Structure 1
Amino acid sequence: MKLETYKKFVFASLLILGLTYSCTDLEIEETDSLISEGTGDTGFTGVTNPSSALNDLYNKVGGDFATQENMYSLSEVTSDELLVPTRGTDWGDNGVWRQLHTHTWTPDHAFVKGAWNNLNQNIFRASEIIETTSAETSTVAQAKFLRAFNMFFVMDLFGSVPFRGVDEGPEINPTVLTRPEAYSFIETDLTEAIAALPSVGPGVANVGTASQEAAKFLLAKLYLNGHVYKGTGTPDNADMQNVIDLVDEINASGFDIQEGYFQIFEPTDDTETILFLRSDLGARIWNSLHYNQNSPDNTGGGWNGFSTLAEFYDLFEGDPNTNYVGDGQEERRGFVPDAATANEQNLGIGYGFLIDLQYNEDGTPLTNRQNQPLVFQKEFPSLVGNGEAEGVRVIKYHPYDPTDEEDGVNSYRQHQIIFRYADAHLMKAEAMMRMGGNPTTMVNELRSLREDTPDLASVDEQTLLDERARELFIEFWRRNDLVRFGQFSAPWGLKEVSGDDNVNLFPIPATALLSNPNLVQNPGY
């Protein structure tokens, strides 16, 4: 499904929050820090209803992370994990997807601009809630978490962070925090938020908003990447110990790794989900599936876009060329229901990585639009000139929702996991490794809960990076991991550009530079 078709999707009213197509329009916009109507000669007077504003901000953040553009594309499509090949004229979209894969984006790339605008607007809206004197302490704490959450991603993706005080009008150019300054700002916000947020245990009812545990997770992520953000180049032992201590505190609240990998991504109770976003999952489900693929309780079909590289698929244990039930694949690589098992599964579509001949829910082989067998092929001839079936497909959130069986309606639950304990568990293992310890036991502890996933004899940096790939695919962290491990600029399939570490930061959008002369473009752009 092309972008113009995607806009017509039934969930467009939500997804439109993240879309920005005018990538060549350099008109100055109030985007890098929203200016409130209440800011002016009389000064900031506060938001009228802080709790309602907070709820709106949660919805806004969930919408920003729901789309296939902006945050998702910058986090995943720029990595070796996902690519969006042009299939005939489908998914051409003026080259925006190909530029992400080949690291040839520019300051006027639509998704770079969209992510920048959304994140910075959220920072300002959180500040408005924080500076409202009538806001309750718990509301302020949640707003500080959301400000830190959005600022974390601005700092991570772009380095510099513009910041406008709520009393500053449009005549004042926002100040710009350097990356180390933003790091300290985020650390302070999270530390202050933890003191006033509730401590919660696992369960859907507890983890849809900020908690002490969610703030500790983000703080641990901050410390784990501290040598990147502070520019020291070498992990600091104190930061690594902070990671270990914070993960232990989260674990003490009842969060832990659990078995049943794909069940974790259903909207039911589990011990792993630390925070989920109110994100419609349509773009996570349909953008990878073929037009003729569907689930028993839905009409329509997939959008036939997102795929993975053969080399990423090969990181998983199992037969390199098939992924049918019983082929010996590890649990996290998922499965394709075949003629013998499709009806038994009552799914039609499998989980994880879909390759080779596909079947519907009654075991009938599927066909493509030319009425030929629908066989997903592992290799791509190039980023352009592809047919309908090139590429292994990736699906983690299934369109068949067992919680909707009573009414027969699939709600595309507002439940996208963004913080998960398995990630925290691997962060602790990494922190131990960077302090000179041996992470093998911890990594194998996780692998022992994933079926058909044998223990590793030893774990080094590359092995740990690969394990994070296997466990956390399409959860927004692949680019972040590759940067931290020094591999984001490395070559991979169909990526012609490599070795330029300037791509570790995205460019500041051209419109932002025009609107705020305090901003300085990142090197290499």
Structure 2
Amino acid sequence: MKRFELKFLSLAFLAVFGLYSCTNLEIEETDSFISEGFQGLEDPQSALDQLYNQVGGQLGDQANTYALTSVTTDEQLVPTRGADWGDNGRWRKLHQHEWGFEETDILTPFDQWNSNQLLASQILDERSAAPSGVGAQAHFLRAWSMYMILDLYGQVPYRDTQLSSSTVPEVLIGADAVNFILADLDEAISGLPAISAGSGEQNRAGKAAARLLKAKVLLNRSVFESQLAEPRSFNAADMQEVVNLVDAIAADGYALQSGYFEIFEPSPDTETIWFIDSGNTGNRIFNGLHYRSTGLGGGGWNGFSTLAEFYDLFEGDPNQNRYASDLESAQIDGQEERRGGVPNIGVPFTNRPGSSDDNGGFEDGSNVGNGFLVGQQYDLDGTPLEDRQGNPLEFSRGFVDGNGAPSLINNSERTGIRVMKYNPRNGGGFANHVMVMRYADAHLMKAEAILRGASGGDATALVNELRTIRNATPLGSVSESDMLDERGRELYCEWWRRNDMIRFGQYTRQWEFKSDTETGNAARNLFPIPLPQLLANPTLVQNPGYEQKHSV
């Protein structure tokens, strides 16, 4: 396969660099450049495998795209504990909405997703002569990559691989970008296989994945086409098509499944539509656990946590979240299933697939709870754990400094409720099975579309169908606010919180530790276009609200 190489468009750009001498504007190898004399790929199947590996690595990361979709919301934050997780304020700035132009978590995803869509375009170039199945997969992954760029940055540079390498890529925005993505998805739906639910083959996209993404695009069309304008308006035909697409997904056997945390295990189920198997779950497991939470993987990294206000969206005692004993016992604090619980002892070893027995008859990692971990944590044998200073390892609701004042710096090892959707009990924490798409998301999108005017059922009944399966109390009615909350409860830490909050007009609201000066700032609905990309592609225009922030 031919490689695309860095080439400056003209010497004029070199002069421009001098104007930004106070900023690192090194141009990386990105979508703006393509190898001279590209004549197609020799092995499009290998290129597709490479593309899936790239996407898997990017989605398995705890930084970059995941950080932008989760840490910038009310569902995740990363306090500084002593010297740990300081990183020059990297994580705090995201949560507080005080990011600038040099944040690696903003620069890197722009390069990654644009690089992905270029490789997909190269696979789709007629000179590559890709088999139809490979082409359908490339259409899907190009649509996915362009969707991510549009969602995060509002502008999608697109290079026609038939044009000269010196041609500046055109930039798709609004309706043009949406229509391009939808056209790719129609090609994908036509050419992808109908992968049956529960087959275990969902590590590659099938028709259901393309349909879910198309429904996602239609549900968010008003956001993408209006950019920063609020309130949103929703086209009736789009909402009806969302319902039709979800019904088509269900026709392939996809359905809600009981046993919430079992959905995130590697075993097949009826909910999983697309998972990645080239990125391990370790980042999702260890980034929030304390150093002494488990012996697996050398212990946790003690960073990522959630806000008490997000935790309080769930039913149950606000101050404790316990199982009666081990992970397989009943919940005893009135919590709904999705909130999980903390066990006070490990699970006895039973030779269950994916488990191991290296700890005195208990399954490795089974002392770590599910869902939201708050209060005292325990070792496998039931011994109360301590932090490294000898204090009881009790995860608290709040984030305070050494003086007890609310703060994101100078926190102890114990502050913050931790999140655990992928339990280390399953595959030792490194099972290559990170969820990207599942049916519950589609089910709730259908309910939302009906709430916004489509026919095909009752929104409240659909939400309550899900809540009943999750052992949560049915709702008497469902408002927009209820729908956003339900999506938060069902899909926490699965990519969608930022996207949902923007669509419902809640991303700019206040939450704990968000900067007062940034509350209500609609410019934060998009991230800034990285400055090197503005230099490399003059067709890009800096997003509103950031234009004056890059001066020397």
TM-score, structure 2 as length reference: 0.86
Aligned residues: 487
1:148 equivalent in structure 2 = 143
Residues 90-489 of structure 1 mapped to structure 2, 5 A cutoff: 90-131=84-125, 132-231=127-226, 233-278=232-277, 279-294=279-294, 298-325=296-323, 326-338=332-344, 346=363, 347-380=366-399, 381-401=406-426, 404=427, 410=428, 412-435=430-453, 438-451=458-471, 453-489=472-508
Q: Using the alignment, how far apart are the partners of 1:29 and 1:113 within structure 2?
A: 10
Q: Using the alignment, how far apart are the partners of 2:216 and 2:267 within structure 1?
A: 25
RMSD of aligned C-alpha atoms? 1.6
Q: Residue type of the partner of 1:268?
A: S
Asked if 2 retains the 8 angstrom alpha-carbon contact of 1:32 and 1:512, the reply is no
User: What secondary structure sits across from 1:65 in the alignment?
Assistant: helix
Change (3 A) 1:261 1:24: farther
2:80 equivalent in structure 1 = 86
Q: Using the alignment, how far apart are the partners of 1:470 and 1:524 within structure 2?
A: 32
1:15 equivalent in structure 2 = none
Deviation of the 1:154 alpha carbon: 0.2
Q: Using the alignment, how far apart are the partners of 2:493 and 2:430 within structure 1?
A: 17
Q: Which runs of 5+ in 1 are unaligned?
A: 1-22, 405-409
Encode CA deviations 1:89-135: one digit per residue, 9 max, x unaligned: 11010111111001111122111001100000000000000114421
Q: Residue type of the partner of 2:418?
A: R
Asked if 1 retains the 8 angstrom alpha-carbon contact of 2:239 and 2:454, the reply is no
Encode CA deviations 1:163-215: one digit per residue, 9 max, x unaligned: 11223444222111112211000000000111111112112532111111110
Change (3 A) 1:107 1:169: farther
Q: Using the alignment, how far apart are the partners of 1:92 and 1:337 within structure 2?
A: 31
Deviation of the 1:458 alpha carbon: 1.1
Larger Rg: 2
Residues 484-499 of structure 1 mapped to structure 2, 5 A cutoff: 484-496=503-515, 497-499=518-520
Encode CA deviations 1:345-379: one digit per residue, 9 max, x unaligned: 84110000000110011111001001111010101
Q: Residue type of the partner of 2:86?
A: G
Asked if 1 retains the 8 angstrom alpha-carbon contact of 2:41 and 2:128, the reply is no
Q: Residue type of the partner of 2:189?
A: I
Q: Using the alignment, how far apart are the partners of 1:211 and 1:375 within structure 2?
A: 44
Asked if 2 retains the 8 angstrom alpha-carbon contact of 1:34 and 1:125, the reply is no
1:520 equivalent in structure 2 = 541
Q: Residue type of the partner of 1:285?
A: I
Deviation of the 1:237 alpha carbon: 0.4
Moved more, 188-197 or 25-34: 25-34
1:6 equivalent in structure 2 = none
Return structure 1 stretches of 4+ with deviation > 6 angstroms. none
Q: Using the alignment, how far apart are the partners of 1:215 and 1:501 within structure 2?
A: 30
Asked if 1 retains the 8 angstrom alpha-carbon contact of 2:32 and 2:536, the reply is no
User: What secondary structure sits across from 2:60 in the alignment?
Assistant: coil
Q: Using the alignment, how far apart are the partners of 1:204 and 1:391 within structure 2?
A: 38
User: What secondary structure sits across from 1:176 in the alignment?
Assistant: strand
Q: Residue type of the partner of 2:187?
A: E
Q: Residue type of the partner of 1:172?
A: T
User: What secondary structure sits across from 1:448 in the alignment?
Assistant: helix
User: What secondary structure sits across from 2:469 in the alignment?
Assistant: coil
Change (3 A) 1:374 1:411: closer
Moved more, 224-233 or 182-191: 224-233
1:76 aligns with 2:70: yes
Q: Using the alignment, how far apart are the partners of 1:166 and 1:152 within structure 2?
A: 19
Change (3 A) 1:359 1:34: farther
Encode CA deviations 1:5-25: one digit per residue, 9 max, x unaligned: xxxxxxxxxxxxxxxxxx952
